[in-house]
Amino acid sequence: MTSNTDLSGIIGRDDVNNYDAILAVTNTSPDEVEHRVRADADATFTWDYTRSRPALVKLYDKAKTSQWNADDLPWDIEVDQEEVARNNMNQNGIDENMDLSDTPFAKWGDKEWLEFRMESQNWTLSQFMHGEQGALMCTAQIVETVPWIDAKYYAATQVMDEARHVEVFARYLDTKLNGAYPINAHLKMLLDDIIADNRWDMTYLGMQIMVEGLALAAFGFLHTMTTEPLLKKLLRYVMSDEARHVAFGVLSLQEYYAELNAAEIRERQEFDVKEAVKAMQQAPERALFQSMLFSKIVPNCKKLGLIDAGDGWLRERFTELGVIGFEDWTDTAEEYSVLDEVAKDREAASA
């Protein structure tokens, strides 16, 4: 098992389940409109325009033909928040069958639980929206910092994707729900860490593998749970893009990591677990959702050679978290075409 010292270094506290420490991190500026992070990465020009990475060329070509417009979604659908909340009874983070006699929830009736479910969905979708803006910022940074022309080309298409994702989540929250919540303090810290790192591959690892992988799993979970047709369609379109984004990270880092030494690989293994645990602890759902979040991260880390690199340190950490069983699931580099809902809709329309 990981020692207290190791845990403190990875997640900033001695006990994973120290909720006092978790809740001590709060958003001190919930009303701020602008948030600035200093990014100290070098902008890298390349004068080598040779298209030398076929897998990235293929992904870039796929991205160009898979663009969609926010107006493509059926915004005329009326959304009854109360009905959606009733149909998503298992989506909140508290089991109503738990013993709540010594808590403030003991006095809650159907009205309060319904309001809780409605606000829980608003909060979750708000964090999705904020996370998508983080992806927008990070991908724009990748365009600047990655040294390969094929990666710059593809990353430029992802910048457009992320702008569209922010747009659709904001529009859904503003026109179908009751508006957005501020960004969660832990998500804010995570995005700050990724943007502030001056190494281009750490931006890839933090955003393309970790955050995008978590998002893809979370979107899939919510897509399965929700009964609301507009949200279901919105999530499916966003997932089509997200799968390509994670594949982009896997394809790029796989080549780069083959050149790193053992100490450099270990640093990236530790970053992986730190950010994964941080995200897992803040998941809005319970054990099943928290576990499924790793269904994308673990196989992608295996594809990158991170799980068994060095002394197998990352395998031990994933084993302790109870998620190593996902290592043989399909990695995202192989499944993005399966999730291309845009292509499916266009084929159906032309049939």
Q: What is the CATH number of the domain that holds 209?
A: 1.10.620.20
pLDDT for the residue numbered 140 = 95
Amino acid identity, position 100: L
Q: Residue 92 has what DSSP assignment? A: S
Query: Which two structure tokens, joined as six digits, stand for 311?
Result: 């002394």
Kindly state the average pLDDT of the residues 262-285: 65
The Cα–Cα gap between 161 and 3 comes to: 41
Query: What length is written for the chain?
Result: 351
What is the SS3 assignment for 84? Answer: helix
Confirm whether 12 is domain-assigned.
no
The Cα–Cα gap between 130 and 127 comes to: 5
pLDDT for the residue numbered 283 = 43
The Cα–Cα gap between 48 and 281 comes to: 43
Residue with tokens 């738990």: 98
Domain count, the chain: 1
Share of the chain above pLDDT 70, in %: 79
Kindly state the average pLDDT of the residues 198-209: 89
CA 348 to chain centre: 29
Residue 116's pLDDT band, with cuts at 50, 70 and 90, is: confident
Query: Which of 64-73, 127-136, 260-269 has the weakest average pLDDT?
Result: 260-269
pLDDT for the residue numbered 6 = 53
HSE at residue 132, side-chain half, CA atoms within 13 A, is 26
Query: Which two structure tokens, joined as six digits, stand for 243?
Result: 């799968």
- Predicted confidence (pLDDT) at residue 251 exceeds the cutoff of 50: yes
pLDDT for the residue numbered 169 = 98
pLDDT for the residue numbered 282 = 46
What is the SS3 assignment for 15? Answer: coil
CA 109 to chain centre: 34
Is the separation of the CB atoms in 286 and 255 below 8 Å?
Answer: no
Is the separation of the CB atoms in 250 and 300 below 8 Å?
Answer: yes
State the residue range of the domain holding 251.
48-350
The Cα–Cα gap between 281 and 24 comes to: 13
pLDDT for the residue numbered 85 = 84
The Cα–Cα gap between 150 and 175 comes to: 38
Query: Which of 40-54, 120-134, 270-284, 299-313 has the weakest average pLDDT?
Result: 270-284
Confirm whether 30 is domain-assigned.
no
Confirm whether 224 is domain-assigned.
yes
Confirm whether 346 is domain-assigned.
yes
Confirm whether 26 is domain-assigned.
no
Confirm whether 162 is domain-assigned.
yes
Confirm whether 274 is domain-assigned.
yes
Residue 208's pLDDT band, with cuts at 50, 70 and 90, is: confident
Share of the chain above pLDDT 90, in %: 36
pLDDT for the residue numbered 296 = 80
Confirm whether 37 is domain-assigned.
no
